[in-house]
Structure 1
Amino acid sequence: MSIGKPASRPNRQCVRSGCCSPDVVMFLAVNNRQSSTGVPARTPENNNFKEAQMNKTTILSTPSLLAAALAAVVSPANAQDSDNRVMEEVITIGTRVEGRTATDSAVPIDIISGEDFTKQGDSDLNSLLRNVVPSYNVNTQPISDAASLVRPANLRGLAPDHTLVLVNGKRRHRAAVIAWLGNGVSDGAQGPDISQIPAIALQQVEVLRDGAAAQYGSDAIAGVINFELKDSPDGGAVEVKAGEFYEGDGRQYRVSGNYGMPFTSQGFANVSFEFGAQDDTNRSVQRNDAAALIAAGNTAVEDPAQVWGRPEISDDFKSVVNMGVELGGSREFYAFGNYGSKHVDGGFYFRNPETRSAVFADASTGEPLIGDLDPGNGLDSCAGFSHADALASNECFSFQEIFPGGFTPRFGGDVTDLAGVAGVRGEAANGWAYDVSASLGYNDVDFFIYNTVNASLGPQTPTSFNPGAYTQLEKNFNVDFVKGFEVGLASELSVATGFEWRDETFEITTGDQASYEIGPLASQGFSAAANGFPGFGPLAGGQWSRSNYATYVDLEADVTEGWLLGLALRVEDFEDFGTTTNGKLATNIDITDSLALRGSWSTGFRAPTPGQSNAFNVSTEFDLALNDLVNNGTIPPTNPVAQLRGGEALDPEESTNWTLGAVFTLGAVDITVDYFNIEVKDRIAPSQLYSLTQAEVDSLVASGVTSAANLQNFRFFTNDFDTTTTGVDIVATYSTDSIGDNTDFSLAYNQTHTEVDKFSPETIDATRIRELEEGLPETRWTLSSNTALGSWGFLGRVSSYDDWFDSEDGQLYGGEVLVDAEVSFSFTDQASVILGAQNLLDQYPEENPGARDGVGNRYSQFSPFGFEGGFYYLRTRYEF
């Protein structure tokens, strides 16, 4: 892995001499062909596309700048070739100036080769990224409503939608899923779904850890992640991987491939795909209430009654196409995109056949809930009946007739993801480089739930439902320009400017009628709508759109020899809440040949999404105080019921971000140290839960939330608290040929702390504050080594996780240390076989002491490294 390795000094000289790209967004750009502003990286040497493409193919055969630099050390005979690669790396690597691997950059960025993602056991890109970037956190999300389908991830301790995701330097659309349950930090977030990108399609990934809203716009508060796609015009690879957990479950397989080919005589097309599936896992203990039912003779109760583990994923298909072609006259057409789909099937909470309120028991008395099927005889005809009495009666009804052992709903969805970008870039006669592009992103989640009931329909209820769908559609149009000017400084003054139009639409599709309707038994205390995940009714369905315009200017230059200075300013206007202006100042100062200091200060913002402003949702959650399930609803902040508690239209979040760091060398060890401070004001998140009065229930039902008839509590999105997140990142790399043919070592350390500075007790409670401050590990580090020895390869990785707070259990869990290992053998230059283990020593988080008395989760569902133990895998690969 090539994170943290400083680039050689020729990088700065390259800019001074004019041989590097002028496409710098803010300060010295570590640039690639898909730039941060979308402008091409062009030089006098690479204006010809074919020549540039040949150079790029050579460069990209090396995983990263680190590998190129180390090759020069290990093999002096190749030093000249390595130097050429270093020079080209300035042009092709990153989309932002902030490059932690470049001494000339002003803020930190992790540069991770595509090979680092394939050398792992998992296949979900979220987990792959977590294993190599300590400031990136994601967990299993076993029972988290829609968050089980699109897992929320956190960069530098902030919410998933505080991180902007790019592909080839272009903004990626967000997912349709809103993470209603995310252990506080992710609650209410709507971020992108990167799991739809196959790892085999990646040339490299850059994780920029600095505020970048002044360059990119909304969402870039915690940082930016850019996924660079492979663009080779020839060759490829096919890989087959299979594995399972030590406990014998969670089997998965993946077949993936990558193929590069010419596209006409002037271009390339690079295609990648992945297809696979994974079985679910089970790390539960039998709940005491379910065990008591079995002991009492109820043979219909499952063991375990409730399953905690990862969901089953089937028909998991991912594909990516990346292409470009020279048009002549210094113009190039490019296009790329992806299509993916998967079927996700997971579990919910157990409904006890004796105590589940509004289905088996009266919500107010706890007595058996028996339905009168012949109201003409009067409700008293079933008064005092037991479930056994109802089973023997034709006029009285108990849900034990359908589910004598209770039931555990199964919930999931069919996820479809589609994106496409196309553009033309070139250089005008006056020297201005330009890039004109348009993009479309689409994400749809069609929910399903089965093994459940609409209790208000009595014996006529279906047991499977289509609750409806969430859909996100985004459109972007960008025009970008860049040019360098001689103004008497040590380098040209790079001026970048441009225009962006963006439109996003969030849609709720109504479900089938039975999933949301209020049936005839509702007046007798039976819950309406599909139990567990109520369907979206006609008044809840609809489309909500918002468009915005932005313009920016970025200036960057070496003021003097060894002093880089950059300035950025961006103005963005949103049609729903107005205009926001943000800026950034950054600098890098060479102290000696082996020491540089860097830092930045910026302001930022994140706009509320149309989904957050308008979505309805009902989640069934376990209440520790009641030791029972409760239905909690989320309603729009402008709903009249929310306005009674202070709800109002959402405003953007505002941030101030500053960093201070150093890049230096100690002998053969390269080290980067960076401190960051992020203040976010008016953060957008769900409020605390409010109890509903009967009048408010009636109002919500009238507004289309038919399931409100059975809601205990509700909440809404609000701008109502401020946080400060501080931390330190340390990265050290070392390479030696004294171990095997070559061995690379890398240490990455992250310490992040969040503190809630200001909040309103009326909307944010103490538990939520603790979730925000303690829900993620405060300290994480990863130590890895990679050794080549003839035909053999050895990889080892040690990862440490600090403790975390789980609000579902009310517990603070201690941290753990995990070990990953992989050994490979190459039969030929093309064919290899790899055997590996993730969590080699089979470490689990500490057990939940209240699992049996509660909901059966043996381990914390929010464990930052999972709770399923060791996983072993076998991978075969053929390259051509």
Structure 2
Amino acid sequence: MKFKNNALQQAIKFALATTTAGLFVSGSVVAAEQAAEETKVNKNVEKIAVVGTRSAPRSIGDSPVPIDIIGGEELDKGGNTDMLELLKGSVPSFNVHQNPISDAASLVRPANLRGLPSDSTLVLVNGKRRHRASVIAFLGGGINDGAQGADISVIPSIALKQVEVLRDGAAAQYGSDAIAGVMNFVLKDASEGGSFEIRQGEYYEGDGDTTQISGNVGLPFTDSGFANLSFQYKTADATSRSVQRPDAAALNAAGVPEVSSLAQIWGAPEVDDDISIFGNIGLELSNSSEFYMFGNYSERDVRGGFYYRNPHTRPGVYSNDGGETLLVGDLTGDMSGNCPTDIMIDDNVLDNQRYIDLVANNPDCFAFNEMLPGGFTPNFGGNITDTALTIGTKGEITSGFLEGAYYDLSGTVGYNESRYFIYDTINASLGPESPRDFSPGKYSQLEKNFNADLSKGFDFGLAYDVNVAGGLEWHEETFTVVSGDVASFTAGPLTEQGFGIGSNGFPGFKPSDAGEYTRRNYAAYVDVEAPFTEDFLMGLALRYEDYDSFGSTTNYKLTGQYHLTEDLNIRGSISTGFRAPTVGQANVSNVQTNLSSGVLVDSALLPPTNPIAVQLGGTELEPEESQSYTFGAVWTIGDLFFTVDYYNIQVDDRISQSDKIELSQADKDTLEAAGVPNVQNLAQVSFFTNDFDTTTQGVDAVANYSTDLLGGSSTFSLAYNWNDTEVTKSTDITGEFKVSRLENDLPNHRATLSWAQQWENFSAFTRVNYYGEYQGVHVDYDATAKTADAAVTIDAEVTYFLTEELSFSVGATNLFDQEAEKLDFYDSTGIPNNNWGGKYYETSPYGINGGFYYVKATYTF
């Protein structure tokens, strides 16, 4: 389907713009009374959350900690097919970048809640811990450098009953990673009915064509249970927001053949055969117990762009002295070819007569200009597989000394695998025998979790029973590195002549890099909630956690809520928390390509205990530690619901990648002796480190109002977040630019304002998104950084209900095609910013692709 420059595109744009004119909305029915469809039935139904308490589920207005609830139907109106983008539109403190040309971060995009990295937010499904992705974001855009969070993009919105976002530290309740908060994805549990949906869309530029087919069905599981099944299948074409690189244009002008018209692509990657299947099963075993089981299988192929290799300057391939002389290999095996080493490179080395006579027409000598005269641009991709299964039983104990207590016993296993591929590149050391496509190996993450939870109410003469909960947890995680195909890492016959080893851009994992790394930990917790009066509730949680690698930690959380009046209550919490370093962060090594001061170089990531890392300041990783507190108020008056919460999160010894540290020749010699491949072509190294402390503070404000309007029912929602991060301690290992990225890359101010309107046969949804100023960065290069302007985007969707079962929708995200911040043509040092072919700063919080139109048809039964 092609919308660009045709009548359909203009008609859709006109319909959406006129239907939504005057609607001011916040993209998240965050803590709303009900989504538009539900409002039609009963606009006063309360939102009930499971996350954040060990007691009975409670209304979010009665929670002592801030919780957002986003209904599944609101997510469906978000207009996007990626769960990350849907949540970004619904929770203002949630941010995610598109990460073009970011190694594995392009395959599994890391996200940020409250300005902290992706692995500082704990992800649950049906209240159970979700496993991490195997992808470590080596190029994570500053904030997420080295993060290893869960891959929530595999969760289809059609499978969800609701998403609960606990905006508060919760390590004392749930364990590691819950420093910024908790996201709980609650799967649908209906035993009948369902829906099927097909969606088609593309960007205004005419690319990124996306097709999604999804479905959900509820089935009875005997007379006493349910089996709710969901699927989603998606494909998405790549996008390009690029211009020709100046060096490629100069080569073309000089007559160099086979130079691509766009040597380097900035945009979203191609996603192929993206399939997710989720199942949720429940069965009543007796009047007091039930069995449950849920899980998923997901798989997708992703392929995106990488940096262009200039045929005059790329080290290890074309030249080893910055483009002055040509790198020529002797193919004889005994150096009898007498191949020249002093051929000067001018505008077009192919016209150099000495090159023609002594290399091109000499079978004993070889230069890659013969094979790839216009240079080459690797394509980086991967196959991502994700699967999980949870089985458990829960219920009420009906006899004995624990009569009246509730139990929950469960086991979970989760697995994520990323098999990497790199296309259209070479292993230069193999010379003309090099293949062009490689499989550099794979990472996998396996996690096992067992929980035993117990809770019981006790009458201590207070307003209500005091709920006392306790439990045990055992957790094991294994990170595995599997070596790549031999051609991706082997040192070929031209190695000693200065040609690079391994697949250029992403060398394969050698057998010596391969390994399996396992860590186990167990935890015990107790959680008490005491209603001292009908108006005053307090809670205390304590958790002891012991790891077989670095020892134990104990954390607490104290919460309170007090009703000043029937309609106004105040709430607050104070807690400590921690985030354990992942097994992958402690053991992984990798070689990556990145820009340093505008020059494309190879950089090695080393384990922090590697001798070179230790020499440069690396130490064995320790857990992050956090202290946080929140204070807020909840006000309800009629149909208006309003909350405001201040938060402060201090994190000590944060884990991240160090700055890229330049290697001396002595360092290179030591690395070479230790077996690191291609070491003489390495320019930098980095490692994981506990090097800096941060303080993050902010304010969340949420307002929702439901009423009858314009002959239908309306829900208005406003959500605002102010977030500020300050690096309070750091060293040169972190570096000044990394500090700047941590503090400035994300906008300090985010807001959404939305209006959902329901009539008998029509519904409309409009959301206005506000993004404050942020630091624009291009190619992770500090000289390109600038303060980018604030911007507003508008999303809209209009639905017509042809029958009770069949509906048709048209919608758009970024309806008026708000353009991302364009690159200044020259940076602060006078270097052209489009040397690398970009048009926009890729840190744009609303992306660089522009407006996106879609149509969809939904059948509900």
Specify which of 425, 433, 440 is matched with residue 406 of structure 2.
433
Paired AA for residue 663 in structure 1:
V
Cα deviation per residue 1:811-866 (whole Å; 9 max; x = unaligned)? Answer: 33222110111111001111000000111101111211246642011011221111
How far apart, in 2, do the equivalents of 1:307 and 1:4 lie?
36
- SS of equivalent residue, structure 2 residue 223: helix
Paired AA for residue 847 in structure 2:
G
Tell me the CA shift for residue 767 of structure 1.
Answer: 0.2
How far apart, in 1, do the equivalents of 2:59 and 2:529 lie?
19
Q: Identify which range, 232-241 or 526-535, moves more after superposition.
A: 526-535
Tell me the CA shift for residue 375 of structure 1.
Answer: 5.0
Cα deviation per residue 1:651-688 (whole Å; 9 max; x = unaligned)? Answer: 00000010000111356432110000000000001111
Specify which of 87, 98, 103 is matched with residue 145 of structure 1.
103
How far apart, in 2, do the equivalents of 1:377 and 1:189 lie?
47
Q: Identify which range, 109-118 or 810-819, moves more after superposition.
A: 810-819
Unaligned 5+ residue runs, structure 1? 8-62, 74-81
Which residue in 2 is equivalent to 1:551? 524
How far apart, in 2, do the equivalents of 1:366 and 1:507 lie?
42
Q: Does 1:241 align with 2:172?
A: no
Which residue in 2 is equivalent to 1:167? 125
Tell me: CA distance 1:221–1:98, structure 2 relative to 1, closer, same or farther (3 Å). Answer: farther
Which residue in 1 is equivalent to 2:610? 639
Tell me the CA shift for residue 427 of structure 1.
Answer: 1.6
Tell me the CA shift for residue 802 of structure 1.
Answer: 1.5
Contact 2:712 2:759 in 1 (8 A): yes
Tell me the CA shift for residue 513 of structure 1.
Answer: 1.4
- SS of equivalent residue, structure 1 residue 327: strand
Which residue in 1 is equivalent to 2:692? 721
Matched residue pairs, number? 809
Which residue in 1 is equivalent to 2:88? 130
Specify which of 196, 214, 218 is matched with residue 260 of structure 1.
218
Listed as ranges, the matches of 1:61-460 within 5 Å are 86=46, 90=48, 102-328=60-286, 330-363=288-321, 366-377=324-335, 381-385=339-343, 387-388=349-350, 389=355, 390-428=359-397, 429=399, 430-460=403-433
Which residue in 1 is equivalent to 2:712? 741
Paired AA for residue 836 in structure 1:
G
Paired AA for residue 136 in structure 2:
I
Contact 2:455 2:470 in 1 (8 A): yes
Which residue in 1 is equivalent to 2:15? none
Give the % identical residues.
51
Specify which of 651, 657, 669 is matched with residue 640 of structure 2.
669
Which residue in 1 is equivalent to 2:668? 697
Tell me the CA shift for residue 315 of structure 1.
Answer: 0.7
Contact 2:635 2:642 in 1 (8 A): yes
Tell me: CA distance 1:517–1:452, structure 2 relative to 1, closer, same or farther (3 Å). Answer: same
Paired AA for residue 743 in structure 2:
E
How far apart, in 1, do the equivalents of 2:613 and 2:51 lie?
48
How far apart, in 1, do the equivalents of 2:821 and 2:478 lie?
43
Which residue in 2 is equivalent to 1:772? 742
Cα deviation per residue 1:320-340 (whole Å; 9 max; x = unaligned)? Answer: 000011112522110000100
How far apart, in 2, do the equivalents of 1:581 and 1:520 lie?
56
Tell me the CA shift for residue 460 of structure 1.
Answer: 1.5
Listed as ranges, the matches of 1:681-830 within 5 Å are 681-761=652-732, 763-805=733-775, 806=777, 807-808=780-781, 809-830=784-805
How far apart, in 1, do the equivalents of 2:640 and 2:225 lie?
40
Specify which of 795, 799, 812 is matched with residue 837 of structure 1.
812
Which residue in 2 is equivalent to 1:846? 821
Specify which of 583, 588, 591 is matched with residue 556 of structure 2.
583
Tell me the CA shift for residue 734 of structure 1.
Answer: 1.3
Paired AA for residue 774 in structure 2:
W
Paired AA for residue 867 in structure 1:
I
How far apart, in 2, do the equivalents of 1:100 and 1:378 lie?
82
Which residue in 1 is equivalent to 2:852? 871
How far apart, in 2, do the equivalents of 1:661 and 1:377 lie?
76
Q: Identify which range, 595-604 or 325-334, moves more after superposition.
A: 325-334
Which residue in 2 is equivalent to 1:518? 491
Tell me the CA shift for residue 292 of structure 1.
Answer: 0.6
Tell me the CA shift for residue 764 of structure 1.
Answer: 1.3
Cα deviation per residue 1:135-191 (whole Å; 9 max; x = unaligned)? Answer: 000111111000100000000000100000000000000000001112211000000
Paired AA for residue 601 in structure 1:
I
How far apart, in 2, do the equivalents of 1:100 and 1:90 lie?
5
Tell me the CA shift for residue 618 of structure 1.
Answer: 1.6
Contact 1:101 1:109 in 2 (8 A): no
Contact 1:99 1:106 in 2 (8 A): no
Paired AA for residue 517 in structure 1:
T
Paired AA for residue 814 in structure 2:
N
Tell me the CA shift for residue 777 of structure 1.
Answer: 1.0
- SS of equivalent residue, structure 1 residue 697: helix
CA RMSD of aligned residues (A): 2.0
How far apart, in 1, do the equivalents of 2:822 and 2:511 lie?
44
Paired AA for residue 836 in structure 2:
V
Q: Does 1:475 align with 2:448?
A: yes
Cα deviation per residue 1:56-97 (whole Å; 9 max; x = unaligned)? Answer: xxxxxxx66x98688556xxxxxxxx6xx54xx658687677
Tell me: CA distance 1:717–1:852, structure 2 relative to 1, closer, same or farther (3 Å). Answer: closer
Tell me: CA distance 1:617–1:629, structure 2 relative to 1, closer, same or farther (3 Å). Answer: same
How far apart, in 1, do the equivalents of 2:273 and 2:808 lie?
25
Paired AA for residue 824 in structure 2:
P
Unaligned 5+ residue runs, structure 2? 1-26, 826-831
Which residue in 2 is equivalent to 1:531? 504
Q: Does 1:656 align with 2:631?
A: no
Cα deviation per residue 1:543-590 (whole Å; 9 max; x = unaligned)? Answer: 101000000000002111200100000000000000000000010000
- SS of equivalent residue, structure 1 residue 746: strand
Tell me the CA shift for residue 766 of structure 1.
Answer: 0.5
How far apart, in 2, do the equivalents of 1:377 and 1:182 lie?
44
- SS of equivalent residue, structure 2 residue 647: strand
Q: Identify which range, 221-230 or 801-810, moves more after superposition.
A: 801-810
Tell me: CA distance 1:500–1:253, structure 2 relative to 1, closer, same or farther (3 Å). Answer: same
Which residue in 1 is equivalent to 2:13? none
TM-score normalised to structure 1 length: 0.89
How far apart, in 2, do the equivalents of 1:140 and 1:688 lie?
22
Contact 1:673 1:728 in 2 (8 A): yes
How far apart, in 1, do the equivalents of 2:77 and 2:208 lie?
19
Paired AA for residue 202 in structure 1:
L
How far apart, in 1, do the equivalents of 2:113 and 2:725 lie?
12
Which residue in 2 is equivalent to 1:49? none
Tell me: CA distance 1:522–1:69, structure 2 relative to 1, closer, same or farther (3 Å). Answer: same
Contact 1:436 1:479 in 2 (8 A): yes
Paired AA for residue 82 in structure 2:
D
Which residue in 1 is equivalent to 2:7? none
How far apart, in 2, do the equivalents of 1:579 and 1:323 lie?
36
How far apart, in 1, do the equivalents of 2:337 and 2:177 lie?
56
Which residue in 1 is equivalent to 2:584? 611
Paired AA for residue 472 in structure 2:
F
- SS of equivalent residue, structure 1 residue 632: strand
Tell me: CA distance 1:660–1:69, structure 2 relative to 1, closer, same or farther (3 Å). Answer: farther
Tell me: CA distance 1:521–1:726, structure 2 relative to 1, closer, same or farther (3 Å). Answer: same
